[in-house]
Amino acid sequence: MAALLEIDRLTVTFGGASPVLDGVSLGIAEGEVLALVGESGSGKSMTALSIMRLLPEGARMDAAAVRLGETDLVAASEGQMNSVRGGQASMLFQQPKRALDPTATVGSQIGEPLRKHLGMSRSAARRRVVELLHDVGVDEPERRARSYPHQLSGGLAQRVMIAAAMAAQPRLLIADEPTTALDVTVEAQILALIAQKKAELGMSVLFISHDLGVVASIADRIAVMYAGRIVEQGPTAEILDAPSHPYTQALILCSSLRPDESGELYVIPDGAGLERVSSGGCRFQSRCHRAVEAHVEHHCASREPELVAAPGGTSGHDTRCWAASTMRESA
Ligand SMILES: Nc1ncnc2c1ncn2[C@@H]1O[C@H](COP(=O)(O)OP(=O)(O)O)[C@@H](O)[C@H]1O
Ligand SMILES: [Mg+2]
C-alpha cells in the first residue's frame, strides 16, 4: 500500500550544533497508527513539527522528501501549508490548555477549521461544533461551546482539542504525547477516543510517546528514536515481544508495561547521555551493556551501525545494532 505520509532522510539542525534529527525516514500507510517512541530530547517533537513545518525559529530542515498524499511538504508555500494544517493534517499536544487560545470560546476554536477548511457559514459551523463536542464525549455540548479554556479540566481540554483536530476530517493526526499530562483514568479514556475517531474516519495517526506502555494498545507499528535517529522499527507485537535493539529493551523495562516487583519503574542509566556529538560510533554505546557480551566493542566504538533488517525478524522489522546479529546467533 502506498504510504500516506513519507519522510525520507529528514535532518534538523540548530545553528552550528550537531543535528537534533539525523536522517530520519518514516512512512505511515493509510489508516495506520505509527508510534514514535523515545526518551525526552530524542527528537520526537522535532519530527512532528517538521511535518507541519512549525519548527522553532533558528531550526534548519533538510529532507530528500516529506510528502503527505500528493502534497510535497518541503516545497509547499506557506499558503499551502496553512491549508494543510488543521485541514489534511491536525495535531494534538501534551498541554491542550496551553495549545488553546485563552481569549476565545471553545465553540469558536472548533468552528474555525470548519469555516476555514470546509467553508461553512457561521451558523452551520455553530451547529456542527455542538455535534463534534457531543461526538468526543463532552456533556452539555451547547453550554461547553460557550466555555473558555481556563474553565476546562485537562481531560476536557484534550477532548476539545480532539474535536477541533477532527473538525475538517484530516487524513493524518499527529498526537504529540497527548495523554502525558493526564492521570491514568483520563489517559485511558483519551486513548480510547483517539482509537475510536481513527476507526470512524479511517485516518492515519503518528502517535508520539516516551512510554511504550501507552502505545502498545493503539499502534500498528512502532519506531524507536534515540538521539535523533531511528534505532529500531517494526510491527508492534514484534517490537514488544522480540525487541532487537538494547535501547528498545531498556525502554520496555522502564515502561508502564513492566514495573518491577517493588512497583518501581526501571530507569535507563546515564539519562544525560543522549549523545549527539557522535564519535563516529554507535550513539547508545556509553549506556549499552551488550557490546561486551557480543564482543563487538570495536565496531560499536568506531562505526555507527546502519538500520537494517533485524536478524530473525519479519519483514519491516529493522534495527541499528552491531550486536543484534551476534546475539541472535548465540541465543
Ligand atoms: N529551539 C531549540 N534550539 C535548540 N535546540 C532545540 C530547540 N528545541 C529543541 N531543541 C533540541 O532538540 C532536541 C530534540 O527535541 P524534541 O524533539 O523536543 O525532543 P522530544 O520531543 O523527543 O522530547 C533536544 O535535544 C532539544 O534540546
Ligand atoms: Mg516532545
Q: What's the one-letter identity of residue 27?
A: G
Q: Which atom from ligand 1 is nearest to the alpha carbon of 46?
A: 17
Ligand 2 center–CA 273 separation, angstroms: 17
| CA 275 / ligand 1 centre spacing (Å) | 13
Q: Does residue 71 sit in helix, strand or coil?
A: strand
Closest CA to 188 of 228, 242, 137, 115: 137
Ligand 1, residues 46, 61, 231: which to mutate, most atoms within 8 A of Cβ? 46
Q: Is 61 left (phi over 0), alpha (psi -120 to 50) or beta?
A: beta
pLDDT (0 to 100) of residue 40: 92
* Cα separation of the two ends of the chain: 35
pLDDT reported for residue 331: 47
**Average pLDDT of the chain to the nearest whole number:** 91
Structure confidence at residue 85 (pLDDT): 97
Low-confidence residues in the chain, pLDDT < 70: 1, 258-267, 269-279, 326-331
Q: How far is the CA of 44 from the centre of ligand 1 (A)?
A: 8
Q: What is the pLDDT of residue 271?
A: 56
* pLDDT at residue number 49: 98
Distance between CA atoms of residues 208 and 253, nearest Å: 18
Q: For residue 258, what pLDDT is reported?
A: 62
- Judged by its nearest atom, the ligand closest to the C-alpha of residue 39 is 1
What pLDDT does 269 receive?
66
Pocket test for ligand 1, best of 7, 14, 20, 50 (most atoms within 8 A of CB): 20
pLDDT of residue 293: 81
| Ligand 1 atom index nearest CA of 208 | 21
Closest C-alpha residue for ligand 1 atom 4: 14
pLDDT score at 62: 97
Tell me the CA–centroid distance for residue 174 and ligand 1, in Å: 17
Q: Which residue owns the Cα nearest ligand 1 atom 25?
A: 41
Query: Which residues are near ligand 1 (CB < 6 Å)?
Result: 14, 20, 38, 40-46, 56, 58
Alpha helices, DSSP H, located in the chain: 44-52, 78-84, 96-99, 106-118, 122-135, 141-145, 154-166, 184-201, 212-215, 236-241, 246-253, 290-294, 297-302, 323-330
Residues 6+ apart with CB under 8 A from 12: 19, 20, 21, 43, 46, 50, 55, 59, 60, 61, 62
